[in-house]
Structure 1
Amino acid sequence: SLNRTVALKVIALGHWATDPHLKRFRREAEAAASLDHPSIVPIYEVGERDGSCYFSMKLVEGGQLDEVTRHEPMPIRQAVELIAKVARTVHYAHEHGILHRDIKPGNILLDQKNEPHLTDFGLARLVETESTVTRTLEVLGTPSYMAPEQAVGNNDALNRATDVYGVGAVLYQLLTGHPPFAGGTTYETIKLLLDTEPRQPRLWNPKIDRDLSTICLKCLEKDPKRRYSSALALAEDLERWLKHEPILARHTGILTRGKKWVRRNPTGALLALSLVALTTAAGWIVWRTEFIRHPLTTGIAVLPFENLSDEKEHEFFADGVQDDILIKLAKIADLKVISRTSVMQYRGKQDVHQIGDVLRVSHVLEGTVRRSGGKLHINAQLVDTRTNAGIWAEEYDRDLNDVFTIETEVAQSIANRLRAKVSAREKAAMQEWPTKDLVAYDLYVRARPVIEWAGVRTKEKDLLQAVDLLNQAIARDPEFLRAYCWLARAHDTLYFEEVDRTPARLELANSAINAAFRIKPDSGEAHLALAVHRYWGYFDYDRALAELATARRTLPNNPEVYYFSALIDHRQGRWPAAVHNMERASELDPRNAFTLNGLAANYYFVRAYQQCGEAKDRVIALQPNDARIKLERAMLEISWRADTRPLQAAMEKISADDTAHTKNEELNGARFFLAFYERDTVTADRTVAALPEKDLNDDIGYGRAFWTGLVARTKGDAAAAHAAFDVARAVQEQLARARPDSGGRLAGLGLIDAGLGRKEDAIREGRQAVELTPKISAKIPNGVHYGDLRLDPTWDPLRGDPRFEKIVASLAPKERH
């Protein structure tokens, strides 16, 4: 109505555009519109139409900064002047309570005088808070300029320092012609961002001096506290550089003033700089000598102690000695200590050099235990896996009741020998006794491995027996904290594995956890137990994650802390954090197939197929006779490359080796899906009959009749498809009633109803399934993969449509050269 040309930005939100969301959009946009600054693009109008939000803003005649710098760096002085102005603009917004959260070259516009103008203030926050789907795509789409705390989805940690990082990342791009981090894929970029430091800008562009490089890298510190305290502080340091004044990014002594002082005092500078260089060289020689004398410690594995007692029953006692030493060392954050699950596989004499390679540790602790009457003999030896040399050894002849004192002495000696930094809290934790009752400790040691392997090798009766053992231990020592924590885990496992899915079972777990907190309120073990309880028992992800964060402070080497954190990150759509936590869990527990499978799954969801395959290969090395894992590895190639040949080869190899026909269940499923994808309806008809009636390994529970219906529909036999879906519905309805809290099973019922043409029922069941599922999980993008779109007959009606073919092409694997 004002006859002016404006820029229009539309954000398509689809079915996420709920009333609260639209109100939030307007509120955020109106807040951003309140900013009145010559370098902030003003917003004129905000509105909604057809499920999309839009806003009109001033049209800046010029172009985006990324277009200007796409092919070469900007002149250095021009870049610094521009970023100093951007930083002051960001500071103005911060002073008015608004963060940008998405500073990147594409959001910096240049007018015809090359003056910068910032756009999209505050809108990144809207996207992150209100739409997990959109937020996830945003994170995966432009990670090169994101701060680490933003890339892992930690919205609570975002503050002014997050925008300082973004400004620094743009400065890095302008100076070097490259973003700070850029991998071949989105996942690789995020991994570089989280795990590595940016390359020195001077290596990209030798014209950049040390001071400017320092300013740039200070902005890109991983720890927000180490960045500039404000965008204004950054702007002022850039302006100091422009005026050839000493910057404040580091201590401005003789060395740091260096070049600035030389410009003002060229004659007197030489002697001082030469002296500093000589001192630095001498320090380097001393440091390197120390490094050679004491090579870097990369971690330690406490191997099972050998039982030399006459009674075989005392093997549990030897395991208890090893376990307590491991737990004490694992309290030290400065050490990497391999989990018990991985080291127990090395019982007996082994090649320590090979163990070091597999577990990626520099040292192992070996030992023997002889228990005779009331006497105890323990021999412990620390070995460097790189040289096979023993670097510490000690023998202990004591009374049996001194066993926990010996374990503390061993742990402290190891920490000292490895020069680990041990805090006062960690030292106190190492000195704690698990219990004062050796019989109670023996009962605990017998119960723990049964619970650890629940769901793999543990049967229901063994798990119930473990509960009984722990109850006996607690009866002997009511202050036995570890026993309470593992008792809670046992009860939660009985609930989670559906042995006894009752409120009474959860209350037993809760009672044990409360007892643990009564004994020691700040116990990491108790916080871990509570986290698992809230996760398995109530799907209370936020509370569980908070408990895990607390547990991590005192259990820095406990892989379960990272494993369960990754599971929750996965369910809440924080994919980079999920991968990062699962990688850490696998570092601490590298021979745990559960953890490696979880790692592979997270790689799969972020489409890091190569890394997924490598993780699956590690599982196969641990479980070479597991046909299911081999078939999953082969099926990965279908999702990744739409290549069915590896699956065909794997089936043939497994079938040829399986002379006893023990792998038929796994093979039948693979044969069916291969035939279905290859549209071999004859084989699909034959193999679908061998599928289980109910697939209880799947949370949804699809069974034989459902797949029969899909095959019939693929063949065009509507009557047979309808009949099969009718049967499938009866089975699925039974499964849904058995687990009324399962959104997945109800969603499966809705999908079957869709196949039956019962549209209203399908929509109703789908909505109920979403309500049963934690809100954040219901929004996680779980799109199909390239191979699914290429091969699955379900998509045949869309083939040939240019829009569909464009989507397929966009997911095709990128060839590396």
Structure 2
Amino acid sequence: MGSPVALKVISARHSGNSNARERFRREARAAAQLRHPNVASVFHFGETPAGQCFYAMELVEGETLDARVRRDGPLPVSLALDVGEQVARALMAAEAHGVVHRDLKPSNLMIVSTCGDSGDPAAVGLVVKVIDFGLAKPGATTPDTLDQDCAGFSGTPGFASPEQLAMDQSTARLDARSDIYSLGVTLWYLLCGRTPFTGRTPKELREEQIHELPGKLSALAGKVPAPLIRLLRSMLATDPAERPQSARELLAQLRQCREAIEARPRRRRLLQLAALAVLVSSGVGLMSYFWYRQHIQQGASTATAAAPEKSVAVLPFENLSNDREDAFFADGVQDDVLTKLANIADLKVISRTSVMQYRGEYNTRQIGDALQVSHVLEGSVRKTGAWLHINAQLIDTRTDSHVWAKQYDGELKEMFTIQSEIAQKVADQLHAKISAAEKLAIERAPTADISAFDLYSRAKNLVLEWSYRMSGKDNLPRAADLLNRALAHDPTFFQGHCQLAWIHDQLYALGFDRTPGRLELADAAIQAAFRIRPDAGEAHLARAGHLYRGYRDFDGALAELETAGKTLPNDARLFELKGYIERRRPGGNQEEVLRNFERAIDLDPRNFLLLQQTSLSYDHLRRYREEKLVFDRMLAIKPNDAETKVDRAFVELDWKANTRPLHQMIDSMRVTNPSTMASIAGSRLLCALAERDPAAAKDALIALGDTPLNDDVVQFNGPFLQGLIARMMHDNEQARSSFSVARADQEKTVQAQPNYGPPLCVLGLIDAALGRKEQALREGKRAVDLLPVEKDALGGIAMIKYLAMTAAWAGDKNLACEQLAKASSRPASVSYGQLKLMPFWDPLRGDSRFEKIVASLAPK
């Protein structure tokens, strides 16, 4: 054909080995399947009469990346990412044919310089070609004996995945995730000029892979951008399930990584160019511009200068123990140090909910900027039998310099003494003033029982997960069980009793268990805490939460918080609870609600649940612009959170009676992330009802499953919602049938909670739908009496709103408009969009009083 090719010939040393010849044939067959710009193509396989095997492949006129790095040193980040993207595309082609390379490394990656179509040398780029699919084999095939080289290992150990190094050749299978690991090692080599692991044998390498990766990653801080460190951590995960699951997924993550790295410099350049344009156009001149640029750069380098000098975030301590279960132990060490520091009034200490999201993060400048602190404390814990090694270091986030560091070695029983010393040293380094009471709090051990402390730490992690993901129905009972076991070990464990009381109160307040027995359990835990430490701020905080959640005793709760605040200066929960109380307290100051929430957010800036509650307050106040800004803050923390994206789009429905943004968001998620359809089913249902789309409503109802539709304290079951859809369609027979089923279920709920208004208000609504007018109104009014605004401003308004709806369904328009006027004049979940669009309010349409209420809520 007249084209130059490269010939690959089997080594003479192996030409007589039938296994080696078979592997060579397999290499040719595997590579010949692939036709891709980033894969060196195989054209022909042959064998001489003497048995010499060869194949002809594309001649790649370039050099290997290994040779490039050895000659010129590590690659720039942008070029390394470009290599990664091209190799990922090659792996996508291999994956499509069920082929796993199994020997990805820099010496198997050729680079070729190319010019653009114009031939302009300035347009030079690099193309990467993956060569030597010599160990490649279909990922789904069963293992064979052809790979039993090098004591059963095939590949290049320094670039091999843990599963390759450990594989039993008779049973193991490899897939694309093994190549992704090898590409991760390759990227490390390209960025650093060396591989991350240096063991001399496969066994030594695997030990390093399992135990030393976190430390190796930390050494990259300041040299490699944080987004790329995060990606390397994912690619080099020991467990394949924790890596990108396909080459396609890897390629998407590589692109996201590049965007994240380039975003900040691009924004800085745009700002500088904008400043230049303004300055030049106003005749200031270039000298002024360069003065401006210098000060902008200085400002960027001291972004955290506004953070208080005496401020600190205690980051998660790294678990260096062989046992993964000891991760809870390391978290317990961090939590206790944080708790001790938080007792010091002269310090600003970030709450644990926010700092735990930085597990494994090493860009201290970014962390300091995000949390508005001038210092971070990081460390590691290694537990070996009864021996303990703790390393701690205090870092100034403004300069990324070490302020203090120390290693501690001791017996396990000395752990609490070490934790106290670390807290004291940090306070000393920050020149914090410490009172006698605060010093005592630092020195006090949480418990004398290590087993109790371990169980307590596990429980707190479950509570923390609930705070971040709101998965309380499962997590909170499990945490309560762990705490009960901890208290069985040490009945005097004060913090264990406080945490247990909080969990019981949450289960009661959230409606998971609103029985007197649950309140009695909370009572018992609080009484135990007061017997142990009656003057402790944590005990008064626990009692405040109990009075608020269990009894709606707002004044009593505020009095307890006043006492708690004297010794808990940095506890975000205190300000958060003040906000909740003020929001529900009759005559509460809503601006004070928001001030308390913002103070809590200052101490706990990445507390997702707290931000969610802040958005809810703005919604009740119908301050929709500010509500959307809070959602933006939430999405900065969890950019892909489906519920938050939908909630933000829902604002337009409430504010302007505009369903289009919500509808478009739902449609987009249905295409790009269909797994989220269940989590946003409630919003889908409301959108469908607002648009009078029964088919979409039924589809959403199926996705909702057994999950009730919630409106603050009110819950609607599936049969009720089926009846509502049928009612909207004017299918009276189906509506009656569904509401009858709903009534039977709702009666059971009311019987279990006879003195609680929300279930009764739903029963009233059902009876109104069934034509039981007098009974419906009686139940609606009784619900208002059981939960009046004088007892709970927020819950009481909800009861009034649903009494208005019940009256409308029962045909009493006078009562309906009277009650709706009350609900719409106060902070509540009564919005222009819902009154304008929802079928709940159809019986009132055309009534001038109702239309006046709707108009009063219209956007101004």
TM-score by length of 1: 0.58
Tell me by how many angstroms 1:607 deviates.
Answer: 1.8
Aligned amino acid, residue 751 of structure 1: L
Residue among 785, 798, 809 paired with 1:771:
785
Residue among 664, 671, 691 paired with 1:678:
691
Contact 1:722/1:756, CA 8 A, preserved across alignment: yes
Tell me by how many angstroms 1:772 deviates.
Answer: 2.1
Aligned to 1:392: 404
Residue among 558, 565, 573 paired with 1:560:
573
Contact 1:450/1:458, CA 8 A, preserved across alignment: no
Alpha-carbon distance in structure 1 between the residues aligned to 2:854 and 2:538: 47
Alpha-carbon distance in structure 2 between the residues aligned to 1:628 and 1:400: 44
Contact 1:379/1:393, CA 8 A, preserved across alignment: yes
Secondary structure at the counterpart of residue 662 of structure 1: helix
Tell me by how many angstroms 1:331 deviates.
Answer: 0.9
Tell me by how many angstroms 1:605 deviates.
Answer: 0.9
Residue among 312, 320, 341 paired with 1:329:
341
Q: CA RMSD in A?
A: 3.4
Aligned amino acid, residue 665 of structure 2: A
The within-5 A match list for 1:514-533 is 514-533=527-546
Greater RCO structure (CA 8 Å; 6+ sep): 1
Tell me by how many angstroms 1:688 deviates.
Answer: 5.6
> Cα distance 1:468–1:751, how it changes in 2: closer, same or farther (>3 A)?
closer
Alpha-carbon distance in structure 1 between the residues aligned to 2:857 and 2:512: 42
Aligned to 1:639: 654
Aligned to 1:577: 592
Tell me by how many angstroms 1:798 deviates.
Answer: 5.9
Aligned to 1:740: 754
Secondary structure at the counterpart of residue 315 of structure 1: helix
Alpha-carbon distance in structure 2 between the residues aligned to 1:403 and 1:686: 55
Alpha-carbon distance in structure 1 between the residues aligned to 2:703 and 2:480: 38
Long gaps (5+) in structure 2: 1-303, 798-825
Tell me by how many angstroms 1:594 deviates.
Answer: 1.5
1:619 aligned onto 2:631: no
Aligned to 2:645: 630
1:424 aligned onto 2:470: no
Alpha-carbon distance in structure 1 between the residues aligned to 2:475 and 2:543: 23
Aligned amino acid, residue 308 of structure 1: L
Aligned amino acid, residue 786 of structure 1: Y
Secondary structure at the counterpart of residue 373 of structure 2: coil
Aligned to 2:445: 433
1:606 aligned onto 2:618: no
Contact 2:315/2:334, CA 8 A, preserved across alignment: yes
Alignment deviations for residues 730-761 of structure 1 (CA, whole Å, 9 cap, x no partner): 34333323332431111112223334443322
Tell me by how many angstroms 1:643 deviates.
Answer: 2.0
Aligned to 1:413: 425
Aligned to 2:663: 648
Alpha-carbon distance in structure 1 between the residues aligned to 2:340 and 2:547: 27
Secondary structure at the counterpart of residue 577 of structure 2: helix
Alpha-carbon distance in structure 2 between the residues aligned to 1:419 and 1:317: 29
Alpha-carbon distance in structure 1 between the residues aligned to 2:851 and 2:481: 60
Aligned amino acid, residue 375 of structure 2: H
Alpha-carbon distance in structure 2 between the residues aligned to 1:709 and 1:293: 59
Residue among 347, 361, 365 paired with 1:353:
365
> Cα distance 1:812–1:417, how it changes in 2: closer, same or farther (>3 A)?
farther
Alpha-carbon distance in structure 1 between the residues aligned to 2:326 and 2:596: 37
Aligned to 1:245: none
Alpha-carbon distance in structure 1 between the residues aligned to 2:653 and 2:841: 16
Tell me by how many angstroms 1:328 deviates.
Answer: 0.9
Secondary structure at the counterpart of residue 390 of structure 1: strand
The within-5 A match list for 1:449-598 is 449-454=461-466, 456=469, 466-493=479-506, 495=508, 502-573=515-586, 574=588, 575-598=590-613
Secondary structure at the counterpart of residue 366 of structure 1: strand
Alpha-carbon distance in structure 1 between the residues aligned to 2:479 and 2:682: 35
Aligned amino acid, residue 627 of structure 1: A
Alpha-carbon distance in structure 2 between the residues aligned to 1:358 and 1:763: 52
Alpha-carbon distance in structure 2 between the residues aligned to 1:459 and 1:296: 35
Residue among 759, 782, 788 paired with 2:773:
759
Tell me by how many angstroms 1:467 deviates.
Answer: 4.3
Contact 1:586/1:599, CA 8 A, preserved across alignment: no
Aligned to 1:308: 320
Tell me by how many angstroms 1:597 deviates.
Answer: 1.1
Tell me by how many angstroms 1:379 deviates.
Answer: 2.6
Alpha-carbon distance in structure 2 between the residues aligned to 1:304 and 1:807: 52
Alignment deviations for residues 615-668 of structure 1 (CA, whole Å, 9 cap, x no partner): 22333344444433322221111112222221121011100013xx43333455
Aligned amino acid, residue 571 of structure 2: N
Alpha-carbon distance in structure 2 between the residues aligned to 1:680 and 1:409: 64
Alpha-carbon distance in structure 1 between the residues aligned to 2:727 and 2:368: 55
Residue among 380, 395, 401 paired with 1:368:
380
Tell me by how many angstroms 1:522 deviates.
Answer: 0.9
Alignment deviations for residues 510-567 of structure 1 (CA, whole Å, 9 cap, x no partner): 2232222112111111122223333333343333333233222222222222223222
Contact 1:451/1:489, CA 8 A, preserved across alignment: no
Alpha-carbon distance in structure 2 between the residues aligned to 1:506 and 1:404: 33
Alpha-carbon distance in structure 1 between the residues aligned to 2:454 and 2:644: 36
Alpha-carbon distance in structure 2 between the residues aligned to 1:354 and 1:366: 14
Contact 1:454/1:493, CA 8 A, preserved across alignment: no
> Cα distance 1:739–1:663, how it changes in 2: closer, same or farther (>3 A)?
farther
Greater displacement, 599-608 / 377-386: 377-386
Secondary structure at the counterpart of residue 557 of structure 1: coil
Tell me by how many angstroms 1:341 deviates.
Answer: 1.7
Residue among 353, 360, 374 paired with 1:341:
353
Tell me by how many angstroms 1:809 deviates.
Answer: 4.4
Long gaps (5+) in structure 1: 1-291
Aligned amino acid, residue 428 of structure 2: N
Alpha-carbon distance in structure 1 between the residues aligned to 2:323 and 2:698: 59
The within-5 A match list for 1:372-383 is 372=384, 375-383=387-395
Contact 2:628/2:651, CA 8 A, preserved across alignment: yes
> Cα distance 1:554–1:750, how it changes in 2: closer, same or farther (>3 A)?
same
Alignment deviations for residues 208-245 of structure 1 (CA, whole Å, 9 cap, x no partner): xxxxxxxxxxxxxxxxxxxxxxxxxxxxxxxxxxxxxx
Secondary structure at the counterpart of residue 380 of structure 2: strand
Aligned amino acid, residue 766 of structure 1: G
Aligned amino acid, residue 431 of structure 1: E
> Cα distance 1:425–1:706, how it changes in 2: closer, same or farther (>3 A)?
same
Secondary structure at the counterpart of residue 784 of structure 1: coil
Contact 1:370/1:376, CA 8 A, preserved across alignment: yes
Greater displacement, 725-734 / 328-337: 725-734
Alignment deviations for residues 381-428 of structure 1 (CA, whole Å, 9 cap, x no partner): 222222212223333344544333332232233223323343333233
Tell me by how many angstroms 1:789 deviates.
Answer: 3.4
Secondary structure at the counterpart of residue 362 of structure 2: coil
Aligned amino acid, residue 357 of structure 1: D
Alpha-carbon distance in structure 2 between the residues aligned to 1:707 and 1:510: 37
Alpha-carbon distance in structure 1 between the residues aligned to 2:358 and 2:305: 29
